[in-house]
Amino acid sequence: MEISISLDPAVDRDLEAYVAEAGALGEVSIHCDVMDGRYVEREAMNGRQLKNVLRAAGKPVDVHFMVRDVAHWLDETPRAKSLRSITFQIEPLLEFDIEKAHILLERIRRERGVAAGIAIDLHTDVARVPVDLIRASDVITLMSVNAGKSGQAFNPNAVLKIKQIREVNPGVRLILDGGINEGNIALVKIAGVDIAAVGSAIYNAENRAAAITKLL
């Protein structure tokens, strides 16, 4: 299982320095949450910041859109050597435009040349998500907290979704995002995710390299 450093705790503090530090923190990747203040109340990671992260990152970057207008934010996201995948919250599209989700997946692959997929919020039942959309995803981000706020407690119910997803798309890359720390990492590993996106447990650690080692 891979550890991915979530930049969210640093967005309004020391983002540039944290991205630079992440480049020296061993075999990890970077998880970049973009929030628009519409799908979630908070705004985080504007277009300029996103471009700077992708330009400066020395690690693979997985971008996660917690937004209503995915097409707009895709336009804001440049092609970059560091960019590995883009996922977007499916909830704004579940009610009215599933076909648009398929179009967005193809746009991500075609225009940015990276893996594409959906993200599923903690409160969303996997059964609500069309099977063909799960199958069409190269990567899926599963939230283990409610989208939009850093520092929430991990909800173990999220791991139950992993088996459901794997039954539909066995080869999909799974990212678990939210509240992951040394106390629950064993459960996360047993659950079988590919990437654990970790925010506060690394950012707030006195020794960040040691914190990552404890999670591996």
Q: How confident is the model at residue 94 (pLDDT cuts 50, 70, 90)?
A: confident
For 19-40, what is the mean pLDDT? 93
> What does the radius of gyration of the chain's CA atoms come to, in whole angstroms?
16
Look up residue 188 and give its amino acid.
Answer: V
Domain CATH for 155: 3.20.20.70
User: What is the total count of domains within the chain?
Assistant: 1
Both structure tokens of 30: 């970077």
For 98-135, what is each residue's pLDDT tens digit?
A: 899 999 999 999 999 999 999 999 999 999 999 999 99
Distances 13 to 8, 44, 62, 130 between C-alpha atoms, Å: 10, 11, 21, 38
Which residue segment(s) compose the domain that 108 sits in? 2-215
* Per-residue pLDDT tens over the stretch 173-211: 999 999 999 999 999 999 999 999 999 999 999 999 999
Rounded Cα–Cα distance for residues 206 and 67 (Å): 32
Whole-number mean pLDDT of the chain?
94
Does the pLDDT of residue 157 top 70, yes or no? Answer: yes
The stretch 131-144 carries a mean pLDDT of 97
